[in-house]
Amino acid sequence: MTTEEFMEKTRRFCSWRERCSKEVEEKLKALGANERQIVAIAGKLKKEGFLDNQRFAHAYARGKFENNRWGKIKIKAELLRRNISNDCIRKALDGIEEERYRQTLQALIKNKIDNLASTKKGQVRQKAAAYCIQKGYEPALVWETLNAEHQTP
């Protein structure tokens, strides 16, 4: 493939949804591009607006929070895995409205407690907390929310 053919394929790849630099590099490697081509194509995609890690981080954080109800810890870990800078991650996480974040956590806790109705009473709060922490919510915030609104049933 020529550099222009790689370029066209990656433009289409980036047009489908937001991509980060790491995804584009992996795609180009899979297509058989060499390192020089990868650097040149990535640079051109950035100049053309097809590739923007900050825009990707915002879209990723918003999507994982709204659709998967992930917490900030899990979102951050996944963005780091994609080689997104700490500054981009911070800005993306700042885009999640704090009140909405807390409301989502409260709803997760309530749903989990309701689903654990048949579980021993002493384990309900622990299991609800473990579930929310596994979804990436901050442990201190999980326990604060549990203690404030969900006394042992």
Asked whether the whole model's pTM tops 0.95, one would answer no
Mean pLDDT on 128-140: 96
Measuring CA to CA, how many Å separate 82 from each of 25, 91, 124, 153? Answer: 11, 16, 35, 41
- Is the pLDDT at 39 greater than 50? The verdict is yes
pLDDT at 79: 97
The DSSP letter of residue 32 is T
Mean pLDDT on 52-64: 96
Q: Contact 141/129 with Cβ under 8 angstroms?
A: no
Q: What is the pLDDT of residues 69-79, one digit of tens each?
A: 999 999 999 99
pLDDT at 152: 47
